[in-house]
Amino acid sequence: MKKVLQNPAVSAAFLAVAFLLIYNPVTKMPYTFLIIILIILFSSFLISGNVRELNFKKIGIKEIRIIIFYFLLFELSVDFVFQPLVNKIFNEPSDYSYFAKLEGNTPAYFKMLWKMWLSAAIGEELLFRSFAFARLNSITKNAPLKILITSILFCIPHFYQGWPGLVLTFIWGLLFGYLYNRYKNIWINIIVHGLIDSLFLTVIYFGYSGLYNFQW
């Protein structure tokens, strides 16, 4: 049974189902990702008999240092290199109008914050990194190819941010994919992703969204 479930075609089907659940018409965020998380855990247990393939590894002092380093590296490189470059190429910034309601709105800010940690930090990292990498392992062992595929999948649901947002999210996908492939500890990815998005929401809340319009 396990050999059948680990077949490349079946692995691709598992990944496709988990991905397409993002677009199901019944649930809304973050509950959509709550369902996806539960399905990922169940699927991994069904396929492997455990959830070790998702790489829930320990977090110690070394991992905390890694988290701080990559949070700063990714945030600074995107804010001051990639995002201004993407803005310049498209001659417009990413469309973050969806988050405009957070400015100065404390209840909305904290509500969005916990929803983000559940859906983006935990949900997206489990889906697009640990689960996707585990399923793609049955298809290819080529790490750069897995990072590329998962980055494409990761950026598609962010099309509401326009073409600049789509490209920028693809870049984020490459960065998060690299991070996961290097350390294979999903907690590192979850925390780094959560910190980055928390900073983004906080910047919006305090009314400095114009920082994301920067061009060189």
Confidence of residue 48 (pLDDT cuts 50, 70, 90): confident
| Mean pLDDT (whole number) for 122-145 | 95
Distance (Å, whole) CA 48 – CA 98: 39
Phi and psi based region of residue 26 (left: phi greater than 0; alpha: psi -120 to 50; beta: remaining): alpha
Helix (H) or strand (E) segment spanning residue 31? helix 31-48
Q: Write down the domain spans for the chain.
A: 2-213
Q: Is the pLDDT of residue 3 over 80?
A: no
**So what's the pLDDT on residue 2?**
60
Q: Which among 173, 155, 177 is positioned nearest to 164, based on CA atoms?
A: 155
131 touches 44 (CB < 8 A): yes
Q: Is the pLDDT of residue 123 over 70?
A: yes
Burial 46-82 (b: 16+ CB within 10 A, else e): ebeeebebbbeeeeeeebeebbeebbeebeeebbeeb
Q: What is the CA radius of gyration of the chain?
A: 17
**pLDDT tens digits for range 164-198:** 999 999 999 999 999 999 999 999 999 999 999 99
| Biggest distance spanned by C-alpha atoms of the chain | 55
Higher pLDDT, 94 or 151: 151
Tokens of 159: 């099309």
pTM here?
Answer: 0.94
Distance (Å, whole) CA 152 – CA 146 = 10
Per-residue pLDDT, averaged over 43-59, amounts to: 91
Contact 186, 180 (CB under 8 A): yes
Identify the burial level of 38 via C-beta atoms within 10 angstroms of its C-beta, where 0-12 means exposed, 13-18 middle and 19 or more buried: exposed
